[in-house]
Structure 1
Amino acid sequence: MIHFFKKSKNWVLSFLKKFEKPIDEILLQEVDATRFIVLDTETTGFDYTNDRILCIGAIPLQNGVIAIADSFEVYIKQDHYDKTSAQIHGILKDWVMDRPNEIEALQEFLHYLGDSIIIAHHTTFDVTMINRALERNGLPVLKNKTLDTAVLYKRTLLNSNLLDRKDNYTLDELADKFDISKKDRHTAMGDAYITAIAFLKITNKLRNKKVLLLKQLYR
C-alpha cells in the first residue's frame, strides 16, 4: 500500500491549499465541466461517535461520464464490529484480507478525492462519518462542497396541491423512479453507482436544455 500522506504540518497546509479558489468562482463553473466524486459509506451503524466505517466506495463523474475504471474502493480493518449490521451490507469482519487500518484508508481516500465536489444520497451521514474518522486520526476534516441527491430530486417534482410530496426520498425510490438496477444495493460501490446515475437523471431534468451552472444546484 502506498502511503501518500504524513501527519505533518506541511502536509496539512498543502492539502488545505487545494480549497483556496473563491466560492463565487466555483459556483460559476458548468456542471458538465466539474469533477464530482460520488460516494457512499457502509458502516457498523448510525452512531457518529461509536460506529465505524467498514467501506468507502467512490466514483468520479465529469462531462456526463461515470468513470468506473477510475473508481475507488477501500475496506477498513475493524476493531469495532456489529454483527447485526452485516445482515444489511454483507461485509464480514474477516471477509477482505490485508485491509488497511483507518488512517491508511483515509489518507488514500483524501488523495483520491482532492478538491472535487462530493455527491451522495443523504450526504450529511456519509460526510459526518468520514469527518469523525478524520478527527480521530488527527487529519483535517473535509472542506469539499457537497450535493445531496435526496435534496436535488425534490427540485424535479412539480409543485401542485394534487401531488403528495414527501419530505424524504430513499435511494431505492430514486432507483425505481429512474429505472436503475438495484443489483448491488447496500454495497458502497453499488450505492455510489446508483447515486451517480440518479444525479445525471436529475441534472438532465433541471437543465431544461440549457447550460447548467453549479450555482443552480445550490439554490
Structure 2
Amino acid sequence: MSMTVVTLTKVPLSLRGDLTKWMQEIATGVYVGNLNSKVRGKLWERITQNVKKGQATISYHTNNELGYSCETYHTFRKIVDCEGIPLVQIPKSDNHNIELQKNFSKAAKFHKVKGINKSRYQKIGESIIENETQGYVVFDIETSGLDATSDKIIEIGAVKYSSGKIIKFNYLIKIDSIVPQKIVDLTGIDNKLLTEKGHDLSEVINKFIDFISNHVLVGYNINFDLNFINKTLDRLGLDSIDNKYIDLLPLVKREKMFIDSYKLSDVLLSYDIDGKVQHRALSDSEAALKLSDKVNGFAEKLKLKR
C-alpha cells in the first residue's frame, strides 16, 4: 500500500463520485488514499476511460531516485521518463496563453487559435504527435533459431515513417544450413523459399544499413533483433549499428501491467489493433508501427532520442 494522490479537472461528476469509493476528496478535484499497485493501475485505467475532455494526474510512492512516480492524462504538461526518473516536460510554446489582439470578433479569434493549433500538429493514425517528431524506422527479423552466435537471419523487414509517408523494406536471405522445422511451422519460411527468393546476406545487410541511415530504430523486444544484426555485421567485418533505438516492450509493460501475456499478438489485442501476427518480418514491423502510435509515452521518448 502506498499514498496515492489524484487530481481531476473538468471531468464528469459521475467520475468524481465514482472515485470517492476508493479515495477521499480533500479539496475540489483532489483525492488521496492508500492503494496497492493493482488497485491503483485499475483505478487509473478507469479514470482515463471516463475523463472525457477533462484532465487527470496521478502521483504515488515508488522506489526510484525521487521516491515517487506520476502520470498525466490530457494535460498540457507531460511526464517523460529519463533513465527511470519521471520529469515534467513543459513545452516551449504554450498555445493556451497566446495573447490575441483586441478588437477582433470572437469568430476571428477562434479561427486564429484554430490555425495556430493546426500548424503545430499533424495526424498519425488516430493520435496527434507534434511536428518535432521526425521519421523513424520500425524493423523486425526472422531467424533460424535464438542463438545469435550460431543461428542465421533469414528475413529482414522494416517500415520507415517519415513526413507522413511509409516506405517498406523486405528481403529474404539465403543460408547454407537447413531451416529447422519449428521455424518453418512458425514462419512458413523454408529452404525452398530461400533458394528461390532469397538474396545474399551481405547485399541485404548493406541495403538495410542504407535504409535506416541515422534514423531512430523502433521494435518490439528490439534488443533481440539488434543483437542478431550486430553479430552478423561483426562476422562480415562491418561496423555495428549504433543508431539510437526505442524498445516498445518496456513501454507496454509500464502501461499495461495486468495483461496475461506480452506476446505481440496479445499486446495488439489489448490496444484494439487489428491484424494477426504472422511471424514474418515485414508484417510484424507494420504491426509494431501501429503499436507505436498507440503506446502512451512513445512520442515523448522519440523526441528525447533525437
Compute the TM-score of the two structures, normalised by the length of structure 2: 0.52
Identity over aligned residues, as a percent? 26
Preserved CA contact (<8 Å) 1:66 1:196: no
Structure-2 residue corresponding to 1:61: 161
1:155 to 254, 257, 263: 254
CA shift at 1:90, angstroms?
Answer: 0.7
Give the aligned residue type for 2:300: L
User: How far apart are the structure 2 equivalents of 1:189 and 1:164?
Assistant: 29
Gaps of 5+ in 1: 1-27, 158-162
CA shift at 1:212, angstroms?
Answer: 3.5
Gaps of 5+ in 2: 1-90, 92-129
Query: Is 2:175 the counterpart of 1:78?
Result: yes
User: How far apart are the structure 1 equivalents of 2:240 and 2:280?
Assistant: 24
Given the superposition, is the C-alpha separation of residues 53 and 106 from structure 1 closer, same or farther in structure 2, using an over 3 Å criterion?
same
CA shift at 1:173, angstroms?
Answer: 1.9
Deviations 1:104-146 (A, max 9, x none): 1101110111011111110110000000110110111101111
Report which of the two structures shows the higher radius of gyration computed on alpha carbons.
2
CA shift at 1:98, angstroms?
Answer: 4.9
Please report the RMSD computed on the Cα atoms of aligned residues, expressed in angstroms.
2.7
Deviations 1:173-195 (A, max 9, x none): 22111222333521111110110
Higher relative contact order (CA 8 A, sep 6+): 1
Report the secondary structure of 2:232's partner residue.
Answer: helix
Query: Is 2:284 the counterpart of 1:191?
Result: yes
- The more displaced of 92-101 and 114-123 is 92-101
Report the secondary structure of 2:147's partner residue.
Answer: coil
Deviations 1:56-79 (A, max 9, x none): 00001235x461xx2000111111
2:230 to 114, 117, 131: 131
Structure-2 residue corresponding to 1:212: 300
Higher strand share: 2
Deviations 1:81-108 (A, max 9, x none): 3322111011111215253211111011
User: How far apart are the structure 2 equivalents of 1:217 and 1:173?
Assistant: 27
Structure-2 residue corresponding to 1:116: 215
Report the secondary structure of 2:223's partner residue.
Answer: helix
Structure-2 residue corresponding to 1:21: none
CA shift at 1:150, angstroms?
Answer: 0.6
Paired residue total: 176
Given the superposition, is the C-alpha separation of residues 201 and 37 from structure 1 closer, same or farther in structure 2, using an over 3 Å criterion?
same
1:38 to 135, 138, 141: 138
Compute the TM-score of the two structures, normalised by the length of structure 1: 0.71
Query: Is 2:267 the counterpart of 1:174?
Result: yes
User: Mapping of 1:2-41 within 5 angstroms?
Assistant: 33-41=133-141
Report the secondary structure of 1:147's partner residue.
Answer: strand
User: How far apart are the structure 2 equivalents of 1:173 and 1:111?
Assistant: 33
User: Mapping of 1:78-97 within 5 angstroms?
Assistant: 78-84=175-181, 85-96=183-194, 97=196
CA shift at 1:31, angstroms?
Answer: 7.6
CA shift at 1:215, angstroms?
Answer: 5.2
Preserved CA contact (<8 Å) 2:133 2:302: no
Given the superposition, is the C-alpha separation of residues 56 and 213 from structure 1 closer, same or farther in structure 2, using an over 3 Å criterion?
closer
User: How far apart are the structure 1 equivalents of 2:165 and 2:231?
Assistant: 28
- The more displaced of 30-39 and 137-146 is 30-39
Structure-2 residue corresponding to 1:6: none
